[in-house]
């Protein structure tokens, strides 16, 4: 049986979404001239500022295009559903974001994205624009700790992009924005759990098979199988399993400050997210950690997948002001 | 059958590739759903359709048309298959050269050139459970001697065998790599679609 979706044509879903986003948020976003799959902030890029360009597949909204705006990302390249954008929109986004101080590409660590954005970087080099790359690798379930560079980038993107975007908005030079972006990534940890599959608009069939009564720990945001499957358990137990893993990785000291995100993968409602958050807050308090910033809601989704992820960013004196820095995006605001 | 492979033969090859991907779209998506994100069939059909349109819209040499295929595929798809097939088509374009037709006996070299491009862009090694596990043995078979039809049969068979063999491999590159041992027992969708493409190319080159 085909899943039910409010779409017109599966193949047109991404372009029609983009038309809607531009119609709703034309004060914040626009398409660069001649571009189909790139958006740029109306008042973000400016002379002498490092251009922050993010991007990735569609289906994760508000990630990625929802984080474009003054104080966060300058531009975004938009791919098909769950597929890296080709180099062309990444080049268009970078040209639109370029203020003469270099461009930083940031995106989740996936083989396809790396190939396409690397091709974009080569094309920009020919145009005389320096483009560097910082990959996000916050999903602790996707590879062992000693292979951090193989991990996927998931919901922690919002904090990592935010820190880098703030650094760029504060007119820091490319070296410094890049360093802070890497620093932010290294201190951000995410793990999720999936309760049911999602389906692509083009196929409208569940993209994996998860029997009733089961959950999958560590599942990727494209439905990539996770590390372990087991019976669905109460929210507190799921939160505990995830927080045990995150706290162990993070190695924070009592008195340290954190930013926390409890994220919906799509169809899990706020009620359940706040039930999870309650336990997360308890666990952080038990560990002696102060919650400086809390986000609860859909920040990095996987179409209509059911499930949630928990992200903790281990703040320090450098990251804290960047997380607090104001930004005004179509789907995310601060200050 | 003529002894030359012409630009209009190339147009027909891309028609055949689109037809094949249309027929296999859902099967490839299902295969990808087991160890990936279930979009492989969608991406391959989108890519090949765009490549076909670009090839048909280009009046030029074999090289011009294959370069157009590369650009069309890449810009329609992105993903992993975009850069890999784009680079493969560009290498094939270079191998075909700026001419309206090439001797059919040389056409296996196009398959070898595609494999080289894919290996170069993806930085994969055979045995890592990727599309290269179909392309690399096909390229090796393409270098053999004997009558053209025999060589092309061996090329298609090598790709198919290579794709089947990926079921026994543990993924160590690409998205499925995060699965580790759980990828065992399932063929790699990229290798399966690669074997289909090689088969269509072999059929078209045979004439």
Cα separation, B114 vs A134, in Å, equals: 30
Confidence of residue A189 (pLDDT cuts 50, 70, 90): very high
Position B178 pLDDT exceeds 70:
no
Across the range A247-255, mean pLDDT stands at 97
Assess A333–B contact: CB distance below 8 Å, yes or no: no
pLDDT of residue A61: 98
Tell me which residue in A112, A152, A224 faces B79 most closely, judged by beta carbons: A112
Nearest to A138 by CA among A166, A168, A176, A107: A107
Across the range A197-223, mean pLDDT stands at 88
The answer to whether the CB of A304 falls within 8 A of the CB of A278 is: no
Confidence of residue B180 (pLDDT cuts 50, 70, 90): low
Tell me which residue in B33, B84, B178 faces A143 most closely, judged by beta carbons: B178
Position A197 pLDDT exceeds 70:
yes
Select from A83, A92, A116 the residue whose CB has the most chain B CBs within 10 Å, as the one to mutate to test that interface: A83
Got the DSSP string for A102-123?
-EEEEEE--HHHHHHHHHHHHH
Nearest CA in chain B to A226: B179
Average model confidence (pLDDT) across chain B: 93
Cα separation, A22 vs A10, in Å, equals: 19
Q: How far apart are the first and last CA of chain A?
A: 45
Confidence of residue B170 (pLDDT cuts 50, 70, 90): confident
Q: Which 3 state secondary structure label does DSSP give B189?
A: helix
All residues of chain A having their beta carbon less than 8 Å from the beta carbon of residue B37 are 82, 207, 220, 222-224
Across the range A122-141, mean pLDDT stands at 95
Domain A188-323 falls in which CATH fold?
Hypothetical Protein Tm841; Chain: A;domain 3 (3.30.1180)
Across the range A312-334, mean pLDDT stands at 98
Q: What is the pLDDT of residues A296-309, one digit of tens each?
A: 999 999 999 999 99
The CB density around residue A236, as the number of other CB atoms within 10 Å, is 15
Judge residue B4's burial from the number of C-beta atoms within 10 Å of its C-beta, 0-12 exposed, 13-18 middle, 19 or more buried.
Answer: middle
Nearest CA in chain A to B72: A86
Position B182 pLDDT exceeds 80:
no
Report the percent of chain B where pLDDT is more than 70.
94
Report the percent of chain A where pLDDT is more than 90.
90
pLDDT of residue A67: 98
Please give, rounded to a whole number of angstroms, the shortest distance from the CA of B37 to a CA of chain A. 5
Got the DSSP string for A24-52?
H-TTTEEPPTT-SSEEEESS---TTPPEE
Strand partners, A196: A306
All residues of chain B having their beta carbon less than 8 Å from the beta carbon of residue A152 are 178
**Catalytic residue (one of A25, A183, A222, A325):** A222
- Is A224 in Cβ contact with B178 (below 8 Å)? yes
Across the range A112-124, mean pLDDT stands at 95
Q: What is the CA radius of gyration of chain A?
A: 19
Position A273 pLDDT exceeds 60:
yes
Q: Domain residues of chain A, as ranges?
A: 10-187, 188-323
Assess A3–B contact: CB distance below 8 Å, yes or no: no
**Taking every pair of C-alpha atoms in chain A, what is the biggest distance, in angstroms?**
55
Choose between A320 and B185: higher pLDDT. A320
The answer to whether the CB of A207 falls within 8 A of the CB of A223 is: yes
Confidence of residue B30 (pLDDT cuts 50, 70, 90): confident
Q: Would residue A314 show up in a list of annotated catalytic residues for this protein?
A: no
Cα separation, A162 vs A324, in Å, equals: 9
pLDDT of residue A171: 98
Q: What is the pLDDT of residues A41-60, one digit of tens each?
A: 999 899 999 999 999 999 99
Assess A142–B contact: CB distance below 8 Å, yes or no: yes
The answer to whether the CB of A191 falls within 8 A of the CB of A309 is: yes
Report the percent of chain B where pLDDT is more than 90.
80
Assess A63–B contact: CB distance below 8 Å, yes or no: no
pLDDT of residue A205: 83
Across the range B6-32, mean pLDDT stands at 95
Please give, rounded to a whole number of angstroms, the shortest distance from the CA of A186 to a CA of chain B. 19
Tell me the CATH number for domain A10-187.
3.40.50.10440
| Angle, CA A261 vertex, CA A257 and CA A262 arms, to 5° | 135
Confidence of residue B175 (pLDDT cuts 50, 70, 90): low
pLDDT of residue A203: 84
pLDDT of residue A208: 79
Position B34 pLDDT exceeds 80:
no
Instruction: Output the pTM of the full model.
Output: 0.91
Tell me which residue in B38, B76, B122 faces A207 most closely, judged by beta carbons: B38
């Amino acid at each position: 049986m085909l899943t039910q979706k409010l779409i017109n044509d599966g193949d047109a879903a991404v372009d029609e979404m983009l038309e809607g986003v531009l119609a709703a948020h034309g004060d914040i976003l626009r398409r660069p001239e001649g571009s189909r799959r790139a958006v740029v902030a109306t008042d973000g890029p400016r002379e002498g500022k490092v251009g922050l360009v993010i991007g990735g597949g569609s289906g994760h909204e508000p990630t990625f295009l929802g984080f474009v705006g003054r104080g966060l990302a300058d531009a975004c390249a938009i791919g098909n559903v769950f597929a890296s954008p080709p180099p062309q929109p990444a080049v268009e986004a970078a040209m639109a974001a370029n203020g003469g101080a270099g461009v930083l590409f940031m995106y989740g660590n996936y083989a396809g994205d790396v190939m396409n954005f690397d091709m974009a970087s080569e094309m920009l080099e020919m145009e005389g624009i320096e483009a560097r790359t910082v990959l996000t690798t916050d999903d602790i379930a996707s590879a062992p700790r000693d292979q951090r560079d193989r991990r996927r980038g998931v919901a922690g993107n919002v904090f990592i992009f935010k820190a880098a975007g703030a650094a760029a908005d504060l007119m820091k030079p490319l070296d410094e924005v890049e360093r802070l972006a890497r620093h932010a990534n290294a201190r951000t940890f995410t793990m999720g759990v999936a309760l049911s599959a999602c389906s692509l608009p083009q196929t409208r069939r569940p993209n994996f098979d998860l029997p009733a009564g089961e959950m999958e720990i560590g599942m990727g945001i494209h439905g990539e199988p996770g590390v372990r499957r087991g019976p669905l358990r109460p929210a507190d137990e799921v939160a505990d399993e995830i927080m045990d893993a995150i706290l162990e990785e993070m190695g924070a000291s009592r008195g340290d400050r954190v930013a926390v995100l409890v994220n919906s993968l799509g169809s899990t409602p706020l009620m359940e997210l706040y039930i999870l958050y309650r336990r997360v807050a308890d666990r952080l308090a038990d560990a002696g950690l102060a919650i400086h910033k809390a986000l609860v809601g859909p920040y990095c989704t996987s179409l209509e997948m059911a499930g949630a992820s928990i992200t903790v960013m281990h703040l320090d004196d450098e990251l804290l002001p960047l997380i607090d820095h104001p930004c005004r995006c179509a789907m995310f605001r601060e200050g | 059958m003529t002894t030359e492979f012409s630009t209009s033969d190339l147009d027909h090859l891309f028609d055949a590739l689109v037809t094949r991907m249309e027929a296999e779209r859902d099967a490839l998506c299902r295969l990808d759903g087991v160890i990936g994100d279930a979009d492989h069939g969608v991406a391959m059909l989108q890519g090949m359709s765009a490549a076909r349109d670009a090839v048909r819209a280009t009046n030029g040499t074999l090289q011009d048309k294959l370069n157009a295929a590369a650009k069309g595929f890449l810009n329609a798809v992105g993903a992993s298959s975009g850069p890999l097939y784009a680079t493969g088509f560009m290498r094939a374009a270079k191998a075909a050269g700026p001419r309206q037709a090439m001797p059919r006996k040389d056409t296996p070299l196009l398959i070898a050139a595609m494999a080289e491009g894919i290996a170069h862009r993806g930085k994969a090694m055979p045995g890592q459970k990727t599309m290269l596990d179909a392309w690399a043995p096909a390229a090796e078979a393409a270098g053999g001697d004997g009558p053209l039809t025999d060589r092309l049969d061996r090329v298609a068979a090598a790709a198919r065998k290579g794709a089947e063999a990926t079921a026994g491999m543990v993924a160590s590159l690409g998205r499925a790599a995060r699965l580790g041992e759980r990828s065992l027992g399932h063929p790699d969708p990229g290798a399966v679609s690669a074997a289909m493409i090689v088969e269509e190319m072999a059929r078209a080159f045979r004439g």
